[in-house]
Structure 1
Amino acid sequence: MQINLCRKRLHDIHEAFLSFIIGLMKLQAAFDGDLHQCLSLLQKIHPYLDIAEIGTPLIYREGMSAVRQVRNQYPDLLILADLKIMDAGEEEAAIAFEAGSDIVTVLGLTQMTTLEGALNAARRFGKQIMVDMMQVNDLLPRTKMLLDLGCHYLCVHTAYDVHSTTHTSPVGDLELLRRTFPNAPFAVAGGIGLNQLDDLTALKPEIIIIGGAITNAPDPVRVAQTIRERMNT
């Protein structure tokens, strides 16, 4: 009886530990500069990251070689390729997965066949897609459709050209979506810094995506460490 009781307690502890790990928010840093800057920064801040984003400008500069180099140097780090796929979903997602990406972005505005194609590629490679909800106006019905489709993450994203000029935050949209879909796997991005962090962590997104607040900081290591500590409290 004592052995069975010990086994049950170990099982309960294991389940609680898994729930804790799964429930932890992930920190994703977006690298939009050149490849040298990306690799140099990663060397300093990768211990604080869960996901390294190869940003769209970096992909335009370097192509999939940026993904390959990060994968070669950091085999255990999750990599997201921010392709913002709008067409040819299966073919384009497969290119990024073959290069070493774990997650690929698809625009939420695109047609169903493109989303289904990207999901097909993700299933073939055992990877994931993140749907970027930037500029999606029918937010609630579109979110339901994407969740029903089986998309792995939905990213509530304030566009760069919007937040850089109006200082708009994604907090409001994330609040609405979290109330409506309490268990949905949301990521959040768009001009996020230390000032918005507490409001966002209260809404428990699966992934918080931060770019310039880390990569352009005078001391990116200190900022990344501070963000990680505040996310884990």
Structure 2
Amino acid sequence: MVIIHSFTPFCVWPFVACVCNVGWQGTGLRSQKFRKVWVLQVPFGVNFGRLVRKKRGIEGLSQQDLAALAFGNVGGKAKISQIENGRIHSPHQKTIDSLVIALEISDAELSECYAPIKLDEHEPIQGPFFHPVDPQIFCDKISGRRLQFALDVANRVELKKFALIAAKENVDFLEIGDPVFQKYGMGIIRDVKNYAPGIPIVAEFASSDWIEQQIQLAANSGADIVQVIGLSNEKRISRAIDSARKHKVGISVAILSHENIAKLMAESEAYGADMVAIIRNLDSSNIFIDIMEILKSLPADFTIPLAISGGFTATQVALALDQRWNVVIVGSSILNSPTPADTIRRIKRILRT
């Protein structure tokens, strides 16, 4: 039997999930075993945005550079940002053509943007290490300063290598994001938990359009926390938090640096989010300065735990210690380090000062 659900009616192209019972021969007392596979029809624009961001990174272009190359003027930077964040589900054909030419996107790469993705729905893992749904446990976990290591690698061998390093160096949180889920499915969360037992896993999603389903799949695969980008209004924040509570995972509301940060922080706190994360896109030469200015401008009375992200190096983490925040999210400076374990140790020493 195939059950088809239409998600997010406010989308131009609704997400469609087919839940199929797929059987295979088992052993022992039960001759048949079954698993569920979610087939998710993601809007073309979301997949195209991910491809544009990936190709832009390979070419070493900023969003402003790409706008000038594709559209002939830097004023198109805002459109590039919207596309990369999946906010334009059906880009105009002229826009697609311009970006395809500018980034030399092949027909094969473009065709993959129309393909559905499959995500295994595992049985819930019993007794995850960390349930931040309990406010006291969450507060205890982030007392002081903490390190969240973003595993932004789409290679399983590298993923295992860095997860093992993270386990040995006892990082506080491990983050897995959409690019990894796209390639390996949500089941990769379980693999990482096996590589790094005892470290809370943060599942980050770049879109909130089908967030209830994402949270359910992440929780069933063993995630401890979900971090969601795109919760741009009270309705979406409320939906996401309700879903996180239902599936007993913590939730961090990720706020992009160009959004109304003070307003979204207040709404997130009012609805009971466990944390907010301020995310700065890595397309500016002044990322660190921008993050510092944002932190200085925050209301003095906010109490919700705060994470910050923006391509931090160990030196920049040290320079940020005089601002209010709880968790620093670090990815590339560890992943690109010739001695990643040493870099983790250095950051942790800084956080203890």
TM range (shorter): 0.7 to 0.9
Select which of 213, 216, 219 maps to 2:339: 219
Answer with 122-131 or 219-228: which moved more: 122-131
**Contact conserved, 1:108 with 1:136, CA < 8 A, in 2?**
no
Shift of 1:21: 6.4
Give 1:39's aligned amino acid: K
CA–CA separation in structure 2 for the residues paired with 1:118 and 1:107: 11
2:286 aligned partner: 167
* Partner SS state of residue 146, structure 1: helix
- After superposition, residues 87-126 of structure 1 pair within 5 angstroms as 87-126=209-248
Call closer, same or farther: CA 1:109–1:69 in 2, change over 3 Å: same
Please identify the structure whose Cα radius of gyration is greater: 2
**Amino acid aligned to 1:209:** I
TM-score of the two chains, using structure 2 as the length reference: 0.56
Give the number of equivalent residue pairs.
Answer: 212
In the alignment, does 2:297 pair up with 1:176? yes
Corresponding position of 2:160: 39
Cα contact 2:215–2:247 (8 A) shared by 1: no
What is the CA RMSD across the aligned residues, in angstroms?
A: 2.2
Matched, 1:73 2:233: no
Mapped contact 1:89–1:116 kept (Cα < 8 A): no
Assess, with a 3 A threshold, how the Cα gap between structure 1 residues 139 and 44 changes in structure 2: closer, same or farther: closer
Give me the whole-angstrom Cα distance separating, in 2, the residues matched to 1:141 and 1:113.
Answer: 14
Conservation of the 8 A alpha-carbon contact between 2:252 and 2:276: yes
Q: CA deviation at 1:104?
A: 0.9
For 2:322 and 2:140, the matched residues in 1 are separated by: 16
- List aligned pairs for 1:1-20, cutoff 5 A: none
User: What does residue 103 of structure 2 align with?
Assistant: none
Stretches of structure 1 lacking an aligned partner (at least 5 in a row): 1-18
Q: Match for 1:137: what amino acid?
A: E
Corresponding residue for residue 197 of structure 1: 317
Structure 2, unaligned runs of 5 or more = 1-138
Which amino acid in the other structure matches residue 167 of structure 1?
A: N
Q: Letter of the aligned partner of 2:317 in structure 1?
A: L
Instruction: Give the Å deviation of 1:121.
Output: 2.2
**Could you tell me which residue of structure 2 aligns to residue 158 of structure 1?**
280
Cα separation, 1, equivalents of 2:166 and 2:141: 21
- Pick 1 or 2: higher relative contact order, CA cutoff 8 A, min separation 6: 1
The one-character-per-residue Cα deviations of 1:10-32 (angstroms, maximum 9, x if unpaired) are: xxxxxxxxx88652222111011
Matching residue's letter, 2:151: F
Fraction of identical pairs, as percent? 23
1:27 match: 147
Residues in 1 aligned to 2:205 and 2:259: alpha-carbon distance in whole angstroms = 21
Q: Which protein is richer in helix relative to its size?
A: 1
